[in-house]
Structure 1
Amino acid sequence: MTLDVFVLLVRTPFAWREFLLQSWFVARVSILPTLMLSIPFTVLLVFTFNILLTEFGAADFSGTGAAFGTVTQIGPIVTVLVVAGAGATAMCADLGARTIRDELDALRVMGVNPIQVLVVPRVLAGMLIALMLSSLVILVGLAGAFAFSVFVQDVTPGAFVAGLTLLTGATDVAVALAKAALFGLAAGLIACHKGISVGGGPAGVGNAVNETVVFSFMALFLINIVATAVGMKVTL
């Protein structure tokens, strides 16, 4: 299926309407969990890091730790949790329901390739929304870290902002966004494969959704480890 998706990506016609609908669908189920997870994760990181910096008398470098942690790890990790836990499961359930209703077989009888009209738009939508979610997590997380550091831990606002780019540059942001795109690609492929290969009626759809979560977490954390190691080699 993955090979079919890559081959059909460059073939016409492209299902633009399905792509836009799936992008909105995945964004709708993912945006709230993203906002609810990004701030606590970042605040926890900043709170712990600021305690260490305060002991060393270097609280002005709070922004440096917040930016480095949020861009390189918090953003991708939260994206992993949301894409796999909300977006991928929603796509799997949708395709699984279509499969047990024999809609995919009906498309094949009419000469329509379900991979091209259903799977490819969902995989691309997963990539796009993961990319956007990662950007949102970074922005919201840094805003939350700034507010917590300045108003709770009495860090100087100017020093916090000045330290944001001390260790974190454009290359780190590019690596983080590349990881997010890979997360969306992997989660979309896993969800679509589980959805179109489901069997056993409604119970099979539930099992496929559970398997999607497990396999997506495994794949996405593995991608995060490999991509982080490669990114460190590139940026250092």
Structure 2
Amino acid sequence: MVASDALAKNAAKPIRAVGGFFSMALDTFVLMFKPPFAWREFILQSWFVARVAIVPTLMLTIPYTVLLTFTFNILLTEFGAADFSGTGAALGTVSQIGPIVTVLVIAGAGATAMCADLGARTIREELDALRVMGVNPIQTLVVPRVLAATLVSLALSATVVLVGLTGAYLFCVYVQHVSPGAFVSGLTLVTGPADVVIALVKAALFGLTAGLIACYKGVSVGGGPAGVGNAVNETVVFTFMALFAINVVATAVGVKATL
């Protein structure tokens, strides 16, 4: 009897967690459009997430782009079509490198930082103090962080594309001796405005989802400082899983929409 009760309790725990997450997400979406909006917290969190994410973004973008361009140009050289290196660089950077780097950075740096911040506030009972004073912590703390993560994800995606294409240009022109004019003219051969829009939409979804997961794990943390560490680790895992799933689905929808 005791074993069955423990098994039922363990089985119900993830279900309660999923229900709590969607409940908080619904409250967040509702309170986004309800005044007053915490502008100060939104600006501070946007700067906070951007500060912890910009360096990892740059460190990941250049190696990924150079690796893609180098591998793709070897294949093009075999076919005698090295002048189309800009086409491959644009397609890979906009459609895949941008989203993948955004996933890695948002999940590994931005979301964990937000979760640790909210988790520390939770174990210090700051959220309970806000509730006692009649202040909704979802509106004052969660909404600004979710919107900040969404905004920074858009900025990161655009940064990845710009830095990636610049790095690919320098590598192709000065290392692999591709004609600069041919590289630039090939950028828009396959990749168009629709692909850029889809990449930005994916980035916004990444930021929104990562922000919601990080905030939920932060506000629901328990067990003291050790619980904060566990929540941060769980945030990385769950955010990776969710964002890669979103990337697959969004990429498939984007391919169908642009054909």
Q: Give, in whole Å, the separation in 1 of the partners of 2:87 and 2:127.
A: 51
Q: d(CA) in 2 for partners of 1:6 and 1:154? A: 51
1:117 aligns with one of 140, 153, 159:
140
Map of 2:9 onto structure 1: none
Matched, 1:188 2:198: no
TM-aligned CA deviation for residue 100 of structure 1:
0.1
Amino acid corresponding to residue 183 of structure 1 in structure 2:
F
- Return the letter of the residue paired with 1:144: G
Among residues 169, 181, 184, which one is paired with 1:161 in the alignment? 184
Distance 1:74 1:27 in 2: 19
What residue in structure 2 maps to residue 27 of structure 1? 50
Q: Which residue of 2 aligns with 1:137?
A: 160
Q: Percent identity?
A: 80
Code of the aligned partner of 1:27: A
Whole-angstrom distance in 1 between the partners of 2:249 and 2:154 = 18
How far 1:125 sits from its partner (Å)? 0.1
- In structure 2, give the amino acid aligned to 1:22: Q
The one-character-per-residue Cα deviations of 1:199-232 (angstroms, maximum 9, x if unpaired) are 0000000000000000000000000000000000
What is aligned with 2:255? 232
Q: Which residue of 1 aligns with 2:173?
A: 150
In the TM superposition, what whole-angstrom CA distance separates every residue of 1:32-85 from its partner, at most 9, and x where no partner exists?
A: 000110010011000000000000000000000000000000000000000000
Which of 41, 61, 81 does residue 38 from structure 1 map onto?
61
**Alignment-mate amino acid for residue 13 of structure 1:** P
Q: Which residue number corresponds to residue 128 of structure 1?
A: 151
Amino acid at match of 2:172: S
1:196-235 aligned at under 5 Å gives the runs 196-235=219-258
In the alignment, the residues of structure 1 paired with residue 42 and residue 157 of structure 2 have an alpha-carbon distance, to the nearest angstrom, of 20
**1:176 correspondence with 2:219:** no
Cα distance in 2 for partners of 1:41, 1:129 equals: 20
Q: Per-residue CA shift, 1:121-146, capped at 9, x if unaligned?
A: 00000000000000000000000000
Correspondence list, 1:30-69, <5 A:
30-69=53-92
Q: Give unmatched runs, 5+ long, in structure 2.
A: 1-23
Give the C-alpha shift of residue 11 in structure 1.
Answer: 0.1
CA distance in 1, matches of 2:38, 2:122: 19
1:160 offset after TM fit, Å?
0.2
TM-score normalised by length of structure 1: 1.00
Q: Which runs of structure 1 show a deviation greater than 2 angstroms over 4 or more consecutive aligned residues?
A: none
Distance 1:42 1:8 in 2: 39
- Distance in structure 2 (CA, Å) of the matches to 1:41 and 1:137: 10
* 1:5 alignment partner AA: T
Root mean square deviation of aligned Cα? 0.3
TM-score, with structure 2 as normaliser: 0.91
Q: Give the C-alpha shift of residue 119 in structure 1.
A: 0.1
Rounded to whole Å, the distance in 1 between the matches of 2:31 and 2:189 is 43
